[in-house]
Amino acid sequence: MKVAVIGGDRRAVLLAGLLQRDGERLQSFALERAELPEEIPRAEHLQAALYGADAVLLPLPVEKGGLLNAPYARLPCRTEEVMDALWPGQIVFGGMFSERLRQQAVSQGLLPVDWMRRPGFVIGNAALTAEGAVGLLLQESERSLCGSSVLVSGFGRIGRLLAVKLKALGAAVTVAARREESRAEAEARGYTALPFDTLSGGFDYVVNTVPERVLGEAFLCCLPETALLLELASAPGGYDRNLAENLGLRCLAAPGLPGRSAPQSAAELLRREFRRAMKEERE
């Protein structure tokens, strides 16, 4: 099988190496500055990389600001340019396809596969994200998590796993969630649970997992200056970072954290889901 790896971060680089060792025929593009195995060709032109490919691996997320998410590329590349060069019938993998890209793919006769719509990947990625978040908090703060007060904003897959890990380290965990059912579940697991509109300050750490502005100005103003805020969600994020920084709060943004904290494990997860998806397509 021929596989084209187009752009991406460290996860894409390591995934390409794994697939090459599995015996797949690889082509790459927009990875010119990456440390790829010598056996993987670096196509000079996008069309050359895509020609004859059974599967095309786009980044996770696919794009940033209309450009292909390709930090190792020599030159920026428009996402539309990549989509227009794809061939009907190709299976196209990527993360967080916009509705615009999804519709374009279908209209071109492509078979889009979004990593973030595959339960196996989503759950595995959530576990890696939660682990990476704990590591980042420990790395970036002089305060121990044990005995600290931590707010977990959101109680989805990542929020649930993160709360478990934080509590195991001795943190006092408060969960903020919009749905009453989520708050009831959090309380049943031994956490304090509150709706967003009743939050007040006093937290040593705030970790947001909600990709919407759920933490307002009043809440940010109540936080102590020593608080550390970690953003795990994609844009627009759960709070106004500029406002938080103007208030003297320290903010960290880490969307796509597994690509930084555990790229090898993230690549192995992608390989597993790639194999499963290709098997499903054949069947």
Cis peptide before 236 (omega within 30 of 0): yes
Asked whether residue 283 carries a pLDDT value surpassing 80, the answer given is: no
pLDDT, position 65: 87
97, pLDDT greater than 90: yes
Q: What is the pLDDT of residue 236?
A: 92
Q: Is residue 152 very low, low, confident or very high in pLDDT (cuts 50, 70, 90)?
A: very high
Residue 21, both tokens: 């060792």
Contact indicator for 116, 102 with CB cutoff of 8 Å = no
Q: With bands split at pLDDT 50, 70 and 90, how would you rate the model's confidence at 72?
A: very high
Pick the closest to residue 122 from 269, 279, 240 (CA basis): 269
pLDDT band at 70 (very low <50, low <70, confident <90, very high): very high
Side chain identity at residue 100, one-letter code: R
Q: How many whole angstroms separate alpha carbon 258 and alpha carbon 133? A: 9
Among residues 1, 54, 58, the alpha carbon closest in space to that of 28 is found at 58
Percent of the chain with pLDDT over 70: 100
Quote the Cα angle for 177-182-187, to 5°.
Answer: 95
DSSP string, 144-166: -STT-EEEEE--SHHHHHHHHHH
Span 241-269, mean pLDDT?
Answer: 96
pLDDT, tens digit, 9 for 90 and up, residues 2-43: 999 999 999 999 999 999 999 999 999 999 999 999 999 999
CA pseudo-torsion sign 125, 235, 64, 250: negative
Cβ burial 231-242 (10 Å sphere, 16+ → b, else e): bbbeeebbbbbe
Q: How many CB atoms lie within 10 A of CB 85?
A: 17
DSSP 88-155: TT-EEEESS--HHHHHHHHHTT-EEEEGGG-HHHHHHHHHHHHHHHHHHHHHH-SS-STT-EEEEE--
Average pLDDT over residues 108-136: 97
More confident residue, 66 or 58: 58
Q: Which tokens sit at 33?
A: 């500055």
Confidence of residue 98 (pLDDT cuts 50, 70, 90): very high
- pLDDT of 66 over the 90 cut: no
Calculate mean pLDDT across residues 128-157. 97
- What domains sit in the chain, N to C, each tagged with a CATH number? 2-115 (3.40.50.720), 122-260 (3.40.50.720)
* Mean pLDDT confidence for 60-86: 95
Helices (H) and strands (E) in the chain, counts: 11, 13
pLDDT of residue 201 exceeding 80: yes
Distance between CA 231 and CA 241 in Å, rounded? 9
